A and B are shown apart, each in its own frame.
Chain A
Amino acid sequence: MTLLPITICLLIVPLAGFSGYLVRLLAMIFLWVGKAGCWNILSGMTGYIDFGAVGYYGIGSYATALLMSKAHAPFLVSVLVSGLVSALIALPIGLPTLRLRGAYFGIATLAFAEAMKQIILEFDKTAGVRFFEGPHGITLPIGPGNEFFYYFGFGVMVVVIAMTYWIRRSKFGYALRAVREAEQAAELAGVDTLSAKVKAYMISAFFLGLIGGIETYWLTYITPHMVFDVLITIQMVVMSLLGGMGTVFGPAVGASFLTVLYELFHRDFPYTYTILVGFIIVVVVLLMPKGIVGTLRKR
């Protein structure tokens, strides 16, 4: 097992006197691994491409922001409630959309996430209240330092990876992969594909909401444009694709690679970074569609 030493190393990094920058960078990577992992649980395993995953991240962000700033709820409670709210919203959204096939599911989820953003942007003005604060955004109480989010991010990442590992080996995971390979055949063989898909969708939404809450507390200020940014979904997709869709460690590899690339290029050459990501996508799709982890494992 190479995982144990890595885990121990990662656990002592913040205590070992490394620079705050490294702690911050690693915490960011953990949270991206978590997000990409969430996307991977539904889309990587079933092949249903969710273009609206950021919707649940945004819902979680707003739930935490509202609970902490307006109800003065403690962080842990807010974050857990955020996950639950996301999962509960995922149920009525998932039931109809997951019956749609392929392209239609992608468009419907994209429409869902965009609609959520627009609703939060316009709700206050339309209803004449001050609740979501529209485009002005919400400011949260100042939180603890980077180490706090380092450990939270690490915890979430471990849970998401363990969850993926467990799902892949369970009967539930086989149902999900059957959906990807031959959905109609799976249905004929007696697999309740809709229920499997909805469960995966809700699990993914729960953790996305949770991560949204954690990052909101870290950022201390959010607007609808920030937390419903379609680029967040896109990063999740690219990270999973690059690492290997449907694999346990694929999203972790993809997210680490892309976050480091982002740190290296984005500040000085923001456009180059995005163009590079575009080329990576094209090359990965054309030359190694199974991603880094999938390609290595085949050998």
Chain B
Amino acid sequence: MLLFLQSLINGILLGGIYASYSAGFSLIFGVMGVINIFHGEMVMLGAFLTYWLFTLFHIDPFLTLPLSFFLLFVFGYLVQRFVIHRVVEAPPMISYILTFGIHLIIAYSALWVWTADFRAVTTSYSGLNATIGGVIIPYARLATFGLALIVVAGLYFLLKKTETGRAIQAAAQDKEMARLMGVNITRTYALTFGIGAAVTGVAGSLISTYFIIFPQMGLSYTIMAFCVVVLGGMGYIPGTLWGGLILGVVQSLIATYLNAGLSGALTFILLFIVLIVRPAGIAGKGIVD
């Protein structure tokens, strides 16, 4: 029973990690229809930013979060504004291929500069846990889980309650009509991409405190974000929490009771089945076309 509870908690915390770095992916897809293949590189950049600030200047990882948010925002804004925006009218497949090219440039430039070494951020409080009734809860992962909740709630609030958010929603629903109503599409898209990149970078910064980081980690994060977002419903932000939790718990239970290697295979089989049976995601609120 304790084993099951521990496995369940591990799964929920893992789900929080998944959700924290997938929300930006869902936002970018929902608004611009761009499948961003270099999404994982934004996680990597956030993680390395924290790593270098910690290693060189001994700045606490949690204090690097605002900087990570700001720098990734600027990065996302500029990439959308000056590169991706140029293919905004092209068929969607062009944007996958373009973002794929950017993925290669970032991942391999990072590999060149930082080498393929595995690195870790080890703070004085790394590995500290809370133990409740025998179940171990690592603080760093709990913090990421909290971040995932904040990110999802924040994006939800931003989209529903603010002027900018309504402009983003209008641009997502009908680009031409929004333009006629005075929404600056170019700026709104760049802003959306910037926000998506910023929350992803922050997730990357937190991930660096408990996962090994290396320049080529990105693609696997992109693929996981795909899975999470498809499960929760593409473009439906609260769905990333559902998608993340389901995936996290399923993987954790499989790893505990069957075989850790199988969890990868079953994740992809689950993704494949959900895509075919329920393309709008578990909650049925994703974008289908």
Contacts and interface: CB of A to CB of B under 8 A. Distances in A.
A278 B105 contact: yes
Interface stretch (B45-53, B83-91, B191-199): B83-91
Interface string B12-50: 000000000000000001000101000000000000000
Interface residues of A, number: 41
Contacts of B94: 285, 289
B86 A125 contact: no
A137 interface: no
A158 interface: no
Nearest to B94: A285
Most buried by A among B83, B219, B265, B279: B265
B115 to A, nearest CB: 10
B265 A122 contact: yes
B112 to A, nearest CB: 4
Nearest to B264: A118
Contacts of B83: 282, 286
A126 B262 contact: yes
Nearest to B113: A271
B101 A279 contact: yes
B100 A111 contact: no
B101 A278 contact: yes
B259 A271 contact: no
B272 A102 contact: no
Interface string B87-115: 10011111011101111110111011000
30 contacts: A97-B276, A99-B276, A101-B289, A103-B33, A103-B234, A104-B279, A108-B271, A110-B223, A111-B227, A111-B271, A111-B275, A114-B223, A121-B261, A121-B265, A122-B261, A122-B262, A126-B259, A241-B97, A277-B101, A278-B101, A278-B102, A279-B101, A280-B101, A281-B97, A281-B104, A282-B101, A282-B102, A285-B97, A286-B83, A286-B98
Which 8 residue pairs are nearest across A and B when measured between Cβ atoms? A281-B101, A278-B104, A118-B265, A278-B105, A115-B268, A271-B112, A274-B108, A282-B101
Interface of A: 47, 49, 96-97, 99-104, 106-108, 110-112, 114-115, 118-119, 121-122, 125-126, 230, 234, 237, 241, 271-272, 274-275, 277-282, 285-286, 289
Interface of B: 29, 33, 35, 83, 86-87, 90-94, 96-98, 100-105, 107-109, 111-112, 219, 223, 226-227, 230, 234, 258-259, 261-262, 264-265, 268-269, 271-272, 275-276, 279, 288-289
